[in-house]
Amino acid sequence: MRFVPHTEEERREMLRVIGVERIEDLFADVPEAYRFPPLNLPEPLTELEIRWELEALAEANIHTGQYACFLGAGAYRHFIPAVIDELLRRGEFYTAYTPYQPEVSQGTLQAMFEFQSMICALTGMEVANASHYDGSSALAEAVLMALRLTRGERPKVLMFPTIHPEYRAVVHTYVQHLDVRLEGESGWTLHQLRQPLLLLEELEAHLDAETAALVIPYPDFLGRVLPPSRLRETADRVHQAGALLIAVVNPIALALFEPPGNWGADIVVGEGQPLGIPLSFGGPYLGIMATRMAFVRQLPGRIVGETVDLEGRRGYVLTLSTREQHIRREKATSNITTNVGLMALAAAIYLSVMGRHGLRQVASLCYHKAHYLAERIASLSGYEVWREHPFFHEFVVRTPRPVAEINRILYEGYQILGGYDLGQADPELAGHMLLCATEMNTREELDALVEALGEIGPAREG
Amino acid sequence: MPEPLIFEYSVPGRRGVEMPEPDVPEAPFPEGFLREDLPLPEVSEVDVVRHFLRLSQMNYGVDKGFYPLGSCTMKYNPKINEEMARLPGFAQLHPYQDPETVQGALALMYHLQEFLKEIGGFAAVSLQPAAGSQGELAGILMIRAYHRDRGEGKKRIKMLIPDSAHGTNPASSAMAGLRVVNIPSDRRGNIDLEALRRECDETVAGLMITNPNTLGLFDENLMEAIELVHRCGGLIYGDGANMNALMGICKPGEMGFDVMHYNLHKTFSTPHGGGGPGAGPVGASERLAPYLPGPIVAIDRERTVRPDEPVYTLVWPERSIGRVRAFHGHFGVFVRAYTYIRMHGPRLREVSEAAVLNANYLLARLRGIYPVPYDRLCKHEFVIMGKVPGTPVRALDISKRLMDYGFHPPTNYFPLIVPEALMIEPTETESKATLDAFAEAMRRIAEEARSDPQRVQQAPHTTPVRRLDEARAARQLILRYVPTSEPRPTLAQA
Amino acid sequence: MNIPPDLRYTESDEWVRLEGEEAVCGVTDYAQSQLSDVVYVELPEVGRTFQKGEVFGAIESVKAAADLYMPMSGTITVVNTDLVQNPEWVNQDPYGRAWLIRFRPSNPAEYETLMDAEAYRAHCEARAH
């Protein structure tokens, strides 16, 4: 057997030491009627054969390295420096588990401490955990955290309607059997959805003594960034109502824009995938979660802290473990145990090697390219671009034909993976496409998309 | 010499990666939106490589040696898995691409669902959950939804959980709004049937079973426990953390489990990554299949023209509990697990047999050196007591001393029902020679406990740091780097 | 194990001393030794009222956490805020500096239902086996 090292002779010797004759004897306690069922699986392949099979499966896909890609919507194609994967493939990192034994896990622990520090620097918050599964589950946990921090006495959570639709769906899943009402997220007209400041006012008007939290996206799902000065007022109103402000962020955008810690957010969550993690068809990604020190005991997930060893040397350990399931069981802050440590390591390496200068460059490139693309598309007849609010690297385009149809023509005829069809997120947004540009899109690609969209134009009669 | 923090290497103006100049006209930034400072490190690429490489050298991983961490299945992670997950045709797919452009990826997910169904004996599988504990939460939400649809949602609010269970079981139940009722274990380490019978009434939502349990024992009361709970209208949740003992040995779905999560990072050889990513797919029986979290992959019957060229699509189970995460789950982990399963096929049974052989062999070697609280045939792992009679040495000391012998310690102080527990899971990928060496180290530690207990109590002596002051960490709570005025170390000093 | 004779005790290892109209409560030497290094104490707000047996706070070490149970019904009048900064006092001086709360009992007769030192010692010894 490929990864079982025993020779027949060793196996016999081991059985002898155990005191049984045959390996089957080790399973005498399994009810006979169910013991040794057939396993109807395809016959085993050698390493060479599985390589052939998987290469064929991989080649059956069109990937973003082959076609120009303008999809974003929560998963972003960014430049990944070579050092990241080189270091991630150190067996000491990726074949270790959760650092329960700190003396032989200082590498993971220190890297997580550095990751926590960098997330605090990016978000402007005081404490971050060592990661959550992804942005959506981090948001669900942030909502549960806000419910605990308001002692379960406030059953209402206000959700901004242009939070990523799948994030909202995950929050619904998590709270479906709890006494919680999610409000504010649906029922808006296209006209209203186009005016984020109006939406903000509407949501603020619903703050009351029942409200545990208001959740604000930054940037929102449609790419728009709300003014930090305005959000400072929102934070004041939220706090006056005795509620908490939760921000859902894109970490690359935070290299440019005022971080949520500066405008009064209490909990910050987000998707860390843009920080050096491949698209990989949606996962594994990286949930980011940060808060104020005053709330640290309600923060779920692993947290690394600094201490000293017997000889006074600096070292790192998992700390505040009494929040966690293995000690508190049903009273724990969350059920989470395995998180996405290796992805957090990737982000820590990415943020180190990009540094304050490189990350700003990436964010600026995204911003400039997206704005160039938006401006050019706006000049095409039949297309309308939402440009009245500041946006980061994504924007909305009303298209002259159904989005799915345009996307099909783009990939079949132009080798372009077009934008996200917003009709999937909200029927009000049907006929609108969400386009994203990053530092990976060259000017030639941007121009090619504009040209293609111009050629596609409105559907012709006949 | 401890490795400085990456922040401590930072020098203003130093650059790592440089990006190209913009090839488009620059757009003005909106006023009043921009941040002033971005306090990230400023280091060179060489600084970064040396820093993280040195950090890696302070870690212990399966690639370095024996890692018998109970309930975690630290088996060897085949290197082919890593290469396959990095194929551009997988790693560079955007999750929102048109299904027509990602047929290979969907095919892989479809077949992985089918393989897991076959291995666990379930009617359907969803790959969505990001880890075992999220799979648990999904499974419990499915149980709740099932009762709700039968008009019993408000009534069935009690989840029965054996006292040997992982802490995630009660934590997940509480997150789903259920009340947790502890069921004790009997003297043979099985579920106490009398205690279970007393709790079986019309308020039971379900029973969560880990089998083999965390003592490494196949529960001898399993079939009766399942029947008791089913008879009172409850459902059975299976914690699949210990599936490495059961592949081709028995199928939980056939034995009456209604829903179970798999840990791809335990049973199916995907690396643990220093704490994830894992993946926790959920399998369900016929009656719970409609509630699975979505989306899942199916064959698109309408668009499939030839049966040997199926067209795959994402669909929603009809009464799904919803999404548990954005996008389609930990796809990169699926590629690795798929690779592993395809390399074994029906011979996965031999994997489980070898895992159980190794555990029983090591148990036989350690019996007589350390007390064994539940001494019978074990499955893939077993629990001993980390005590040496007549000495002050405890399980923690033994664990730490093992590091000096070059081994990773077992899980300690779990399960909670065994004092000074050491939970040992060797896995099938370890050779007899490795097991013998570990047993020998354990024997020598027991000897040392008698001859030089202080040496054991002060272990480890050879690791990058010695025992760490965890109380201090919890009291002072230094949880991030804060710049100090002290001079920064240079690479030359480090 | 230190079990002062002049105090009363609960099964959950709190101690109580009556002082005029008020009562003082902390955790016992046995409790602190079981928990090992205490790193955190969570105390209630002054003015809150609890029934006997209700959870009024929590105490945590590195590897364990225990809820604190009200030994008698009453209203909190003072909490030991110094303890929040100095949780190690619970290990050093559980009956002195590490008192947790003062409260005004609403039913002073409940005092008589608590264990005396002798009964509590037996309770501790029974658990040691």
C34 vs A: CB within 8 A = no
Q: What is the pLDDT of residue B485?
A: 52
Task: Give dist(CA B262, CA B138) in Å, integer.
Answer: 12
**Which pair of structure tokens corresponds to residue B58?**
């302070």
Measured distance CA(A106)–CA(A110) in Å, rounded: 6
CB distance A327–C61 less than 8 Å? no
Query: C-alpha distances in angstroms, C37 versus A311, B56, C34, C90?
Result: 19, 31, 9, 9
| CB spacing of A321 vs C62 below 8 angstroms | yes
Note the pLDDT of residue A327: 81
The model's pLDDT over A376-385, given as tens digits with 9 standing for 90+, comes to 999 999 999 9
Tokens of residue A198, six digits:
């109006």
The alpha carbon of residue A461 is apart from the nearest alpha carbon of chain B, in Å, by 26
| CB-based contact, A294 to chain B, within 8 Å | no
**DSSP alpha helix (H) spans, B70-131:** 79-85, 88-91, 103-120
Provide the shortest C-alpha distance from residue A133 to chain C (in Å): 25
Which B residues, 179 through 218, put their C-beta within 8 Å of a C-beta on chain A?
180, 217-218
Q: Is the ipTM of this complex over 0.90?
A: yes
**Within a 10 A sphere around the Cβ of A321, how many other Cβ atoms?**
22
Task: State residue A458's pLDDT score.
Answer: 86
- B15, B82, B458 ranked by CB distance to A89: nearest: B82
Question: B-chain residues within 8 Å CB-CB of A30?
Answer: 218, 249-250
pLDDT bracket for residue A329 (50, 70, 90): confident
What is the overall mean pLDDT for chain A? 96
Model confidence at B487, pLDDT cuts 50, 70, 90, reads: very low
Judged by a CB distance cut-off of 8 A, whether residue A166 touches chain B is yes
In terms of CA atoms, which chain B residue is nearest residue A412?
B101
Is residue B12 less than 8 Å (CB to CB) from chain A? no
Q: Provide φ and ψ at A315, rounded to 5°.
A: -155, 175
- Which residue in A has a C-alpha nearest to residue B54's C-alpha? A107
Question: Could you tell me how far CA A223 lies from the centroid of its own chain?
Answer: 16
The CA distance from B422 to A347, in Å, is: 34
C87 interfacial to chain A (CB closer than 8 Å): no
Q: For residue C67, what are the β-bridge partners?
A: C58
Which residues, other chains included, contact C107 with Cβ-Cβ below 8 Å and sequence gap of 6+? C52, C72, C73, C74
* Cβ-Cβ contacts under 8 Å for A183 (sequence gap 6 or more): A156, A157, A158, A159, A206
What is the C-alpha separation between B171 and B204, in angstroms, rounded? 17
Contacts of C40 in chain B (CB under 8 A): 474-475
Chain B CB contacts of C60 below 8 Å: 474
Do residue C39 and residue B413 have CB atoms under 8 angstroms apart?
no
- What does the DSSP assignment read for B452-471? -HHHHHT--SSSSS--B-HH
Does pLDDT of A338 surpass 90? no
Chain C residues whose beta carbon lies within 8 Å of the beta carbon of residue A322: 40, 60-65
d(CA A176, CA B142): 11
Chain A residues in contact with B274 by the CB 8 A cut-off are: 93-94, 96-99, 105, 107-108, 111, 341-342, 345
**For the segment C94-108, what is each residue's pLDDT rounded down to a tens digit?**
999 999 999 999 999
pLDDT category of residue B493 using cuts at 50, 70 and 90: very low
Residue B313, beta-bridge partner list = B298
Strands B204-210 and B235-240: parallel
Chain B interface includes C63 (CB < 8 A): yes
Note whether A441 and A369 are within 8 A (CB): yes
Cβ(B384)–Cβ(B366) below 8 Å:
yes
- The residue extents of the domains of chain B are 1-58+466-494, 83-346, 349-465
Q: What average pLDDT score do residues B446-468 get?
A: 97
B468 and A13 within 8 Å at the Cβ level: the answer is no
Does C40 sit within 8 Å of B474, measured CB to CB?
A: yes
Handedness of CA B223, B228, B231, B233 (dihedral sign): negative
C63 to chain A: closest CA residue: A322
Chain C nearest-CA distance from B165, in A, is 17
User: What's the average model confidence in pLDDT over A153-166?
Assistant: 97
Domain boundaries, chain A: 8-59, 68-79+355-456, 83-351
- One-letter amino acid for residue B456 of the chain: V
Question: Interface of chain B against chain C, CB under 8 Å?
Answer: 413, 470-471, 474-475
Euclidean distance between the first and the last CA atom of chain C, given in angstroms as a whole number: 15
Q: From the candidates A338, A410, A450, which should be mutated to test the interface with B, based on the most B CB atoms within 10 A?
A: A338
Quick one: angle between helices A47-59 and B103-120, nearest 10? 130
- Domain B83-346 - what CATH class? alpha beta
State the pLDDT confidence band at B360, using cuts at 50, 70 and 90.
very high
Token pair of A138, please? 């981090």
How close, in Å, is residue B391 to chain A by CA atoms? 22
pLDDT for the residue numbered A1: 65
Whole-angstrom distance, CA of residue B122 vs CA of residue B113: 10
CB contact C61 to B (< 8 Å): yes
- Residue closest to A60 by CA, chosen among B99, B105, B334, B81: B105
- Chains B and C form CB pairs within 8 A to the count of 16
| Mean pLDDT across B275-282 | 96
Residue scoring higher pLDDT (B493 or A297):
A297
Q: Where are the beta strands (DSSP E) in A284-376?
A: 287-291, 304-308, 314-318
CB contact under 8 A, C60 and A322: yes
Confirm if B362 and B438 have CB atoms less than 8 A apart: yes
A-C interface: how many C-beta pairs under 8 angstroms?
16
CATH class assigned to A83-351: alpha beta
B200 to each of A444, B143, B158, B229, B405, how far by Cα in Å?
A: 68, 16, 10, 6, 48
CA separation for the pair B16, B27 (Å, rounded): 26
Chain A residues with beta carbon closer than 8 angstroms to that of B91:
63, 278-280
The DSSP symbol for B220 reads T
pLDDT band at B199 (very low <50, low <70, confident <90, very high): very high
- Give, for A433, the enclosing helix (H) or strand (E): strand A432-436
Asked if residue C48 has pLDDT above 70, the reply is yes
Q: Which CATH architecture has domain A68-79+355-456?
A: Alpha-Beta Complex (3.90)
- In DSSP notation, A130-173 reads S-BS-HHHHHHHHHHHHHHHTTT---EEEE-TTS-HHHHHHHHH
CA–CA gap between residue C21 and residue B493 (Å, rounded): 65
- The whole-angstrom distance between residue B140's C-alpha and the CA centroid of its chain comes to 18
Establish if A173 touches chain C: CB-CB under 8 angstroms.
Answer: no
Closest residue in B to C84 (Cα) is B475
- Cβ-count burial of A157 within 10 angstroms (0-12 exposed, 13-18 middle, 19+ buried)? buried
Tens-place pLDDT, residues A231-259: 999 999 999 999 999 999 999 999 999 99
* Residue of chain B whose Cα is closest to the Cα of C83: B475
Measured distance CA(B222)–CA(C33) in Å, rounded = 38
Interface test with A, best of B38, B103, B106 (most A CBs within 10 A): B38
Q: CB distance from C40 to chain B under 8 Å?
A: yes
C62 touches chain A (CB under 8 A): yes
Question: In Å, how far from its chain's centre is CA B478?
Answer: 28
Question: Which segments of chain C does DSSP mark as H helices, in order?
Answer: 29-35, 82-85, 89-92, 117-128
| Cα–chain center distance at B353 | 21
Q: Write out pLDDT tens, residues A341-395.
A: 999 999 999 999 999 999 999 999 999 999 999 999 999 999 999 999 999 999 9
Q: Using CA coordinates, name the residue in chain A closest to B40.
A: A356
The whole-chain average pLDDT of chain B stands at 95
CB contact under 8 A, A19 and B335: no
Residue B481 has pLDDT above 80, yes or no: yes
**Residues of chain A positioned with their CB less than 8 A from the CB of B32:** 227-229
What pLDDT sits at residue A322? 87
Q: Per-residue pLDDT averaged across B368-377, rounded?
A: 96
Contacting residues of A for C62, CB less than 8 Å apart:
321-322
pLDDT at B494 over 70: no
Under the banding of pLDDT at 50, 70 and 90, the label for residue B41 is very high
The answer, for A181 touching chain C at a CB cutoff of 8 Å, is no
Question: What is the structure's pLDDT at B492?
Answer: 40
pTM of the model: 0.96
Q: Provide, as residue numbers in chain B, all residues whose Cβ is less than 8 Å from the Cβ of A6.
A: 354, 357, 431-432
pLDDT band at A332 (very low <50, low <70, confident <90, very high): confident
Interface subset of A 305-324, CB within 8 angstroms of C: 321-322
By C-alpha distance, which of B19, B330, B23, B98 is closest to A354? B19
Domains and CATH numbers, chain C: 29-95 (2.40.50.100)
User: Which chains sit next to B, with 3 or more Cβ pairs under 8 A?
Assistant: A, C
Q: SS in 3 state form for B330-349? A: CHHHHHHHHHHHHHHHHHHH
- The hierarchical CATH code for the domain B349-465 is 3.90.1150.10
For residue C49, give how far its alpha carbon lies from the nearest alpha carbon of chain A (Å). Answer: 16
